[in-house]
Amino acid sequence: MSDLKKIKDNFFSKLNQNLGLSEINQIKSDLFGKNGLISSQFKKIGSINESERKKFASELNILKDELQDLIDSKINDIKKDEINRKLEKEKIDVTLPERSFVRGKIHPVSQTIDEISAIFSEIGFSIEEGPDIENEYNNFTALNTPDNHPARDMHDTFYLDKKKEKLLRTHTSPVQIRTMLKDNPPFKIIAPGRTYRSDSDQTHSPMFHQVEGLHIDKNINMGDLKGCLNYFIKEFFEVEKIKMRFRPSHFPFTEPSAEVDIGYEIKDGKIVIGEGDKWLEILGCGMVHPKVLKNVNVDPLKYQGYAFGIGIDRLAMLKYGINDLRSFFECDYRWLSHFGFDPLDVPTNYRGLSR
């Protein structure tokens, strides 16, 4: 029997066994690899005498094609089988009930922070953040509230160590200090975030939210403060007119200091902002004390400005008609799905508090 016939019989019977892909690939290289059987037969052609050469070459070519075709069809069969097996396994049962789908909601406090941030960004304020765990210096001393100052007692501070060096910030005002220490004036920032005081009843929660504002430049005065707050409150409550009054007050870090009330009335059981003769306190503010500016290496003879601290939760309660502050933090999913906001309503220009 000729060599070619032997190869053909041998490999046809091999290939017709039930082979896997790797075994077929092995046969392919045994035949057609660099030193494969078929390749070696091709190399022989030159040494065959002329009378037989043509016949041998044509038989060899035919054998090569037959083997190649057989190999290709075997590989194809295996791949087809594999696809069919997968299709069989991954059949979708369209009669199954759908999985339940829960859509998250934005908490009213987060929504309010986003709205406040968007309003102040439009008038040139950038957003700063500070840590919830502060040192005593940034929270009090640098803000002209030295040890034994009576204002310290008013804050019901959560201290974190016996030496009273670390604490949960009682207001967002330490972000003023952090901002002014790391940069040079002018400053025009707001700083929303969590604040803490040991206090709990229907209108106080041990954790609450404030947004600090700070604008320091040459020639900034109380009129700028009034204009800025007036603009903010109108934008926030989406009203044309607002009644606002500045009441003299005291904060160690501002001089003069004021608390701001807005006028409102109750109509059909709902709060209407900007009308009526009732007053509601919403923020503390004032001109930044020269001592505070000196503490952060800003020359008070060259630069002055104002600061304010707004209670965010209170604004959210007013705008969205929520009457118990504690409900904000009870994590009741039904409450959230009622008072929460659709994620798509969030303004995109605020990068959000790290939550």
In the complex with ligand PHE, the residue whose CB is nearer, 192 or 286, is 286
In the set 307, 316, 317, 336, which binds ligand PHE (CB under 6 A)?
307
Burial per residue of 102-135, b for 16 or more beta-carbon CB atoms within 10 angstroms, e otherwise = eeebbbbbbbbbbbbbbbbeeeebebbbbeeebb
- Cβ neighbors of 350 (< 8 A, separation 6 or more) are 113, 114, 117, 118, 121, 127
Do 213 and 125 form a contact (C-beta atoms < 8 A)? yes
Rank residues 82 and 156 by Cβ distance to ligand PHE and give the closer one: 156
Nearest position to ligand PHE, beta carbon: 309
State which of residues 107, 171, 188, 289 lies at the interface with ligand PHE (CB under 6 A).
171
Q: Residue 250 or 302: which CB sits closer to ligand PHE?
A: 250
**Where does this chain touch ligand PHE (CB under 6 A) — which range of 94-102, 115-123, 305-313, 322-330?**
305-313
Specify whether the CB–CB gap between 180 and 215 falls below 8 A: no
List binders of ligand PHE among 234-293 (CB under 6 A): 251, 254, 284-286
Concatenate the DSSP letters of all residues of 226-281 into one string.
HHHHHHHHHHHHT-S---EEEEEEEETTEEEEEEEEEEEEEETTEEEET-SSEEEE
Nearer Cβ to ligand PHE (86/250)? 250
174 binds ligand PHE (CB under 6 A): no
Q: Which of 264, 309, 313, 339 binds ligand PHE (CB under 6 A)?
A: 309
Q: Say whether residue 233 binds ligand PHE (CB under 6 A).
A: no
Closest CA to 163 of 137, 195, 198, 196: 137
Q: How far is CA 113 from CA 82, 177, 208, 212, 225, in A?
A: 55, 21, 12, 11, 20
Q: C-beta of 190: minimal distance to ligand PHE in Å? A: 11
Distance of CA 137 to the CA centre of its chain: 31
Q: Say how many residues touch ligand PHE, by CB under 6 A.
A: 10
**Binding region for ligand PHE (CB under 6 A) out of 19-27, 156-164, 264-272, 301-309:** 301-309
What is the C-alpha to C-alpha distance for residues 296 and 341, in angstroms, rounded to an integer?
Answer: 40
Which residue lies nearer to ligand PHE by CB, 143 or 273?
Answer: 143
Q: Does 308 bind ligand PHE (CB under 6 A)?
A: yes
Dihedrals phi, psi of 249, to nearest 5 degrees: -150, -170
How do strand 126-127 and strand 187-196 relate by DSSP bridges? parallel
Closest to ligand PHE by CB, 38 vs 292, is 292
Q: 321 is written with which tokens?
A: 């008609």
Among residues 74 and 134, whose Cβ is nearest to ligand PHE?
A: 134
Instruction: Give the residue among 253, 251, 250 at the shortest CA–CA distance from 294.
Output: 253
CB nearer to ligand PHE: give 236 or 251.
Answer: 251
Distance CA 243, CA 230 (A): 9
The distance of closest approach from Cβ of residue 171 to ligand PHE in the complex, given in angstroms and rounded to an integer, is: 3
Question: CA 70, CA 59: separation in Å to the nearest integer?
Answer: 16
Which C-beta is closer to ligand PHE: that of 251 or that of 328? 251
- Give the residue carrying structure tokens 């009843």: 201
Q: Taking CB under 6 A as the rule, does residue 173 contact ligand PHE? A: yes
Task: Assess 139 for contact with ligand PHE (CB under 6 A).
Answer: no
Q: Which stretches of the chain bind ligand PHE, using CB under 6 A?
A: 171, 173, 251, 254, 284-286, 307-309
